[in-house]
Structures are given as structure tokens and as C-alpha cells.
């Protein structure tokens, strides 16, 4: 029995040692047509020490992913579902300390919908849409750099 417990804990420590680091995570289902306000944000920093020179351009299916800098550099966040206040999600690499008006690049990996970036909270102001599978390495090319305060789908 003791040997089995030792093996179990050794395996657990190994898994935890190699698990990716994230600043925060709030769980929800992937984005699909008709989603309510469920959301997922995982503002993952590229590199364990926050080194923005290391690029992590990945974005899992079902999410809107966004980065602090152009070309998918710096801290990355991701949402599934509609989010009315990006200011509710902390990000130390942003000037305001949260994601409000901080995204400079984005990818839509939603499975059924367009992702809409909104200039103001609660889906107000100007809107920039990214089609399913679309990429925006430079939101500045679309006059939307550091202007997103909420997002919606479809």
C-alpha cells in the first residue's frame, strides 16, 4: 500500500511540475451559437517569467484569444462567451492593470460564430468583427488597437 501511494504522489508531483502556468482561470463551455454570458479567461503569459520575446500564438478551438502586443506577443487572454467588462479581468502587462483597452492582436477560434470586439463595456461603441478562423496580427490596421472593452459572438 505504501509503495502505491509513493508512486501516486511521485506521478502527481511530476504532472504539477510540468503543468503550464496561468495567471487566472475561470471555467466555462466553448463558444457556440446562442451562448449566454458564460466566459473563460486565461491570461497566460508567454514564457514562465513573462518574457514577451517568446511567442505563444496558439489559440484553442472554441475561444477568442487576444494578446497585449501585435503579432500575438506578450500576455495572452482567451474568452468563450460574451463578456461585458474586460476591466473585470486583471492583466499586469496592461497599462490599466486589466484587459480593458489592452488587446493589440486577436484570433477567433469559435466553432460557429463571428467574434465581435466592442469599443465600450456592455457591447457599446464601435465594433470590429473577426470571422470564424480569422486572425488579426495588428488590430491597429483595423483602427482597433487597445480599444476593446467587451466582446460578443454571432
Spatial CA neighbour of 43 closest among 60, 65, 27:
65
**In angstroms, what CA-CA distances link 18 with 12, 50, 136?**
10, 17, 31
Q: How far apart are CA 153 and CA 76, in angstroms?
A: 19
pLDDT digits (tens, 9 = 90+) for 104-141: 999 999 999 999 999 999 999 999 999 999 999 999 99
Sign of CA dihedral 69, 71, 76, 79: positive
pLDDT digits (tens, 9 = 90+) for 59-109: 999 999 999 999 999 999 999 999 999 999 999 999 999 999 999 999 999
- Domain ranges within the chain, ordered by starting residue: 23-153
pLDDT digits (tens, 9 = 90+) for 16-36: 333 333 333 333 333 333 333
Grid cell, residue 144, equals: 482597433
Where does 23-153 sit in CATH, by number?
A: 2.60.20.10
Grid cell, residue 56, equals: 505563444
User: Which residues, in sequence order, are CB contacts of 53 under 8 Å at separation 6+?
Assistant: 47, 73
Amino acid at each position: 500500500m505504501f509503495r502505491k501511494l509513493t508512486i501516486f504522489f511521485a506521478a502527481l508531483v511530476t504532472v504539477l511540475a510540468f503543468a503550464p502556468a496561468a495567471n487566472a482561470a475561470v471555467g466555462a463551455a466553448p463558444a457556440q451559437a446562442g451562448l449566454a454570458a458564460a466566459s473563460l479567461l486565461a491570461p497566460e503569459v508567454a514564457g514562465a517569467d513573462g518574457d514577451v520575446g517568446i511567442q505563444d500564438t496558439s489559440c484553442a478551438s472554441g475561444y477568442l484569444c487576444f494578446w497585449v502586443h501585435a503579432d500575438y506577443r506578450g500576455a495572452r487572454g482567451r474568452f468563450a462567451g460574451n463578456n461585458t467588462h474586460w476591466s473585470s479581468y486583471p492583466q499586469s502587462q496592461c497599462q490599466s492593470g486589466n484587459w480593458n483597452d489592452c488587446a493589440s492582436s486577436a484570433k477567433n477560434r469559435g466553432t460557429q460564430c463571428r467574434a465581435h470586439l466592442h469599443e465600450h463595456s456592455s457591447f457599446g461603441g464601435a465594433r470590429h468583427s473577426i470571422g470564424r478562423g480569422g486572425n488579426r496580427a495588428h488590430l491597429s490596421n483595423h483602427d482597433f488597437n487597445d480599444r476593446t472593452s467587451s466582446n460578443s459572438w454571432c
